[in-house]
Structure 1
Amino acid sequence: MDHDQKQDQHHNLHHEHGSPAGHHGGGASWTMAVRATLHCLTGCAIGEILGMAVGTALGWGNVPTMVAAIVLAFLFGYSLTLFGVRRAGLDLRAAVKVALAADTVSIAVMELVDNGIVALTPGAMEAQLSDGLFWATLLGGFVVAFLITTPVNKWMIGRGKGHAVAHAGHA
């Protein structure tokens, strides 16, 4: 498959799940918002779980563990978008700009909600990897973060921001 075919395939794949703002009536579908949020959640969850697990396993304090989890969540969240838009043919500089524009608000909201839940749940920060509370709080935080971030993403996509930038970057 040549470069143009890859770009068309990637572009068509994204348009199968909704159209970005400004293309067909200016709104964003809930399906598109859910998929954008799931995309973001995947990267955030990988980084968050890795950071929390490493910090907890190594006996780090609460602050260094949360910092590691947040940094890794942003790193993995951006990486998923970066790899996608690079595959679509964008050069590295343009791909980094798209990833930053597409994911920053979504990841920030998700991390704020998820880490807030972990921090405010009694005993969660002291829980060990073998404790059900550790995993229940972390996974529950992801669910709540998803529910709060999805309408944020819908609003942003409907205005041509957030994940809509990723669509424009490879259109």
Structure 2
Amino acid sequence: MADEKQEDLARLFEAVAHPARIQMLKILQEKPRKFSELKEMLDIKSSGNLTHHLNKLEGIVVNLADGTYQITTEGKRALFLVSMLSERKRKGVIASYLLLSASLFYAIWLTFAYYLGPFTAHVPLVGLGFSVLFYCLLRLIVKKETNREDWQFLWSPLHKL
């Protein structure tokens, strides 16, 4: 039973493992399309190539009696999973940039403090305070782009150290 589920999952991932097939699912999500429409919209020159992609999408896309291709419920789920994974990756990159920006701000603060004035014990602490404020400001700016789950995803490898 578990092997069947793993095989189904492997087939699903294989089906959406090509950009043309993902694009095809997005097109078919709008409405059913004929073979020639798909070929033109995907800018695929070879009918054999399109047939190959459609065969890979067996069970995710069905050929209706009138010759149109339609996305199945399983196909809609697959497309949803692909979009969720790509969104999570994008948000993880944004979270990484925020952390990197705050770290760079702190390094620049220490560099300027060292070269421009007396470097006392409180300079690193003030710099750290400003870095935290800078980080919070950046976080507020992109709050709509990220969520708590992304930050946990970013920090989880560090907690294992």
TM-score bin, normalised by smaller chain: 0.3 to 0.5
Q: Pick the structure with greater CA Rg.
A: 2
TM-score of the aligned structures, taking structure 1 as reference length: 0.31
The structure where strand makes up a greater share of residues is 2
TM-score of the aligned structures, taking structure 2 as reference length: 0.32
Larger relative CO (CA 8 A, sep 6+): 1 or 2? 1
